[in-house]
Structure 1
Amino acid sequence: MSAIPVHVPPELVRDFSYFTGPGMCPMRGGDPQGALAGLHDGPPVFYAPNNTYDGYGTWVFVRAEDQRRVLQDAETFSSHRRIFEKALGYDLPTIPLEIDPPEHGAYRSLLNPLLSPRRVMAMEAANRARAIELIEGLRDKGHCEVMEDFAFPFAVGVFLEFLGLPQSRRQEFLGWADKQFHGTPEERGEAIRTVIAFMGELVELRRREPADDFMTFVVQAQVNGRPMTDKEAIGMGALLFVAGLDTVAAAIGFDFRYLAEHSEAQARLRADPSGVTLAVEELLRAFPTVLMTRIAARDTEYDGIVIKAGDRVSCPSMVANRDPAEFTDPNRIDLSREDNRHVAFAYGPHRCLGSHLARRELVIAMEEWLRLIPTFRIREGTEPLTYGGHVFGIEDLQLEW
């Protein structure tokens, strides 16, 4: 347990952790998102000294309304966390995630067209064909482990398409992703160093040999009237790898697990595929995978609570998405729920830049799986492994049909 700062009132201290708390540790058949719904029965803001991975506790904001206030106030609550610097020992900002306004706006405006709905739809045919190829390759087996056989290969394939790289490199990138997201600390460090080195090589290549792809656009772009630096371009590419693979793959896993356990939901969506889009939104609400962390940039007071500069502040989307003040019957999954103001992609200036692409990946995956695979269920004698953390995850998801 980290030390409790002197400015934290004892009555606001709570034994809580995204990493080791109930439902958060790796467990068979768990429901990490649902395990956090009970936080709404306690204080709206509390301090968790155990909620740490780097020696710091965190303030946890429970209500969706409070999370909106925090995440929209980038001047007070900074995203300048330097994830790679802490993990690898050198400075490499993940742009635009770790850049605060006003500088953040320049990078965001630059990248917005690359991940716009129009650009995402231009990738639709290739991404759908990739999903079909993967599913047809395992359909006749009658069973599969979804994460290894479909979710990660599909997400990596979309990533390669976006970078303009050949699909023949999929196994290589899958190896990096496996080490980065599921390896030992040493393997994770090795994997991200490999990814960063690769991005550096890609930056050099695209400066010499331009193509119609993401990295060419970045290295040819100007920000604030100057050319993009190599470090900035590498940081953008590394962020795409870290933020765009595990999150999408995990979301596919949680979605498919729900459908495997609810055959009536499968039947309804098979009968009316137009309902898939709403279903994806509801499952994003029910099973978000990412929590947002900020650092207080200055001393502030929040509804009478003193928060000091340097304090960690956590806004878990999976808690906001179960807020009874925001959602009717929030713990019930309603695949036809409309006006779904979930926060799976966060709030404020750092709202997920890749949300349009992620949504389409999830819709394509579900549409094609339901079209090509007959009624499926959790394979008899197995239970998936779930866990909490910075990215909530699911593994060993064995399905049969």
Structure 2
Amino acid sequence: MSQENDRSADFDLFSPPAAENPFTVYDDMRGQCPVAHSEQLGGYWIATTYQAVNDIAKNPGLFSSVSISVPKDAFGADLAERPPITLDPPRHGPFRSTLLPAFSPRQIRALEPFVREHARELLAEIAPLERCDAASAYAKKIPSRLMARMMGCTDDRQEQFGERMRAILDSNEMDEIKDAMAETQVFLNELIAERLEDPRDDVVSCILSSEIDGRKLTEGELIGALVLIITAGIDTTWSAIGSSLWHLARHPEDRARLVAEPELIPAAVEEFLRAFSPVQIARVVTEDTEFHGVKLSEGESILMGLPSANRDATEFPGADRIVLDREVNRHLAFGVGIHRCIGSSIARLEMRVALEEWLRVIPEFSLAPGDAVTWSTGHVWGPRKLDLLLGG
């Protein structure tokens, strides 16, 4: 294990390497051992292969969701509770069920016209430009506006909602995140009070009407669930749309193919999710155990390296290549097991529509010269700056 530990000891989730493609950071570790170790952030394990990540996700008894960050106290006790993603069985199932009506197929189908109209509004402003930051001007705004709508924000409050999310999602400074979270909680309490007086067909009203074992959700459960839905719904989709545009800006052959064959875009979305999986979360080991050749101790954190698992060549032939029409694509970008992302269908919808509309309006684009891309760090990776030249 010493060699394996040496190769991974410097890996810091919050400081991915300044590489052209940061998702390749796991390649060496995955080649050395399925489960590596980092001495950073107080020390944690990293599952790097498809099988190891799959085994963790499907064994909540051995790998608890009580803390999904590394280090375990990364966001402080006040920000740690995010049901249902931080709940283990038997609490998890009933809580997750309370959210399902808000993500029903009927609800999701009804969102597409709004997403498409918003994308077209954004592109009407972007298309005349010679250059733009597609991460902030497009990729970020699509999920931010949709999430504001799903929360029941009126049109005049949706921009305000997006600005409140900026500090939470853009910053790695915990004081700034905590301040923004406190402001967001006030904002959510206002929405909750409004929906108690005037229930509507939105996420807040749906959760307010839910019950677990005959009781209503507590204030803490309600706020925690709403914050989870908001942050996960914006940050991950924003990152995935940005990574997709980043790839297409660098690969004109793939861009030209999708422009000529837009019916391939749904399959391309799955491939982009596989190759540029934005999310990676942790679990806590519940008892001493041997796992994929290493000894884990009770209480240790283990990161599920989803971006690494989705580039495992034992599961994905030619894993380092983007294959737009890859036929078998059982990627883990949305997780697997009981905590599989409840909003995956919404994320797919947003990615598909965002790419369809962008390629229809701006079929030719490329990375601007110089430092065109800045990547986020932490539990969600994606372009936070994506400077593009527009046109041929």
Q: TM-score range by the shorter chain?
A: over 0.9
Structure 2: how far apart are the matches of 1:197 and 1:354? 24
Aligned equivalent of 1:155, options 119, 143, 149: 143
Amino acid across the alignment from 1:372: V
Q: Contact between 1:131 and 1:368, CA under 8 Å: does it hold in 2?
A: yes
Whole-angstrom distance in 2 between the partners of 1:231 and 1:85: 18
Aligned to 2:224: 235
Equivalent residue, structure 1, for 2:314: 325
> What pairs with 1:66-105 in structure 2 (closer than 5 Å)?
66-81=52-67, 87-90=75-78, 93-105=81-93
Write the distance in 1 (CA, Å) between the matches of 2:103 and 2:388.
Answer: 32
Match of 1:17 among 7, 11, 23: 11
- What residue is the counterpart of 2:20 in the other structure? 30
**Map of 1:59 onto structure 2:** 45
- Quote the offset at 1:92 in angstroms: 6.1
Match of 1:372 among 361, 372, 376: 361
- CA deviation after TM superposition for structure 1 residue 371, in Å: 0.7
Q: Which deviates more from structure 2 when the two are superposed, residues 323-332 or residues 196-205?
A: 196-205
Offset at residue 382 of structure 1 (A): 4.3
Partner SS for 2:278: coil
TM-score, normalised via structure 1 length:
0.90
Q: Structure 2 vs 1, CA of residues 224 and 351 (structure 1 numbering), >3 Å: closer, same or farther?
A: same
Distance 1:32 1:117 in 2: 34
Query: What SS does structure 2 have at the residue aligned with 1:397?
Result: strand
Instruction: Note closer, same or farther for the CA distance 1:232–1:320 as it changes in structure 2 (3 Å cut).
Output: same
- The C-alpha deviation readout for 1:24-50, integer Å capped at 9, x for no partner, is 14x4x6311122222222011122122
Alignment of structure 1 residues 1-400 onto 2, 5 Å: 10=2, 13=5, 14-19=8-13, 24-25=16-17, 27=18, 30-50=20-40, 52=41, 56-81=42-67, 87-90=75-78, 93-183=81-171, 184-303=173-292, 305-400=294-389
For structure 1, the residue ranges without an aligned partner over 5 or more in a row are 1-8
Q: Does the CA contact (< 8 Å) of 1:63 and 1:323 recur in 2?
A: yes
Q: 3-state DSSP class of the match of 1:291?
A: coil
Moved more, 241-250 or 86-95: 86-95
Structure 2 stretches of 5 or more lacking a match?
none
Tell me which amino acid in the other structure corresponds to 1:106: P
Change (3 A) 1:244 1:263: same
Residues in 1 aligned to 2:136 and 2:155: alpha-carbon distance in whole angstroms: 16
The alpha carbon displacement at 1:140 in A equals 1.1
Counterpart-to-counterpart distance in 1, 2:127 and 2:74: 43
Greater shift in the superposed pair: 38-47 or 259-268? 38-47
User: Is 277-286 or 180-189 further displaced after alignment?
Assistant: 180-189
* C-alpha deviation, 1:185, in angstroms: 2.8
Aligned CA distance change for structure 1 residues 223 and 329 (closer, same or farther; 3 Å): same
Seen in structure 2, the aligned counterparts of structure 1 residues 329 and 392 have a Cα distance that, compared at 3 Å, is: same
SS of residue in 1 equivalent to 2:75: helix
Say which is worse superposed, 166-175 or 60-69, in terms of deviation: 166-175
Distance 1:72 1:94 in 2: 20
| Greater alpha carbon shift after TM alignment, 281-290 vs 299-308 | 299-308
Residues 92/284 of structure 1: CA separation in 2 closer, same or farther (3 Å cut): closer
Work out whether residues 384 and 395 of structure 1, in 8 Å CA contact, stay in contact via their aligned partners in 2: yes
In structure 2, C-alpha distance between the alignment counterparts of 1:291 and 1:299, rounded to whole Å = 23
8 Å Cα contact 1:32-1:387 kept in structure 2: no
Secondary structure of 2:283's counterpart equals: strand
Greater mean deviation of Cα atoms: 76-85 or 177-186? 76-85
User: 2:104 and 2:24 mapped to 1: Cα distance?
Assistant: 32
* CA distance in structure 2 between the aligned counterparts of 1:185 and 1:96, rounded to whole angstroms: 23
AA in 1 matched with 2:286: A
- The offset of 1:142, in angstroms, is 2.8
**1:304: how far off?**
5.1
Aligned to 1:327, the other structure's residue is in SS state coil
The SS at the match of 2:67 is: coil
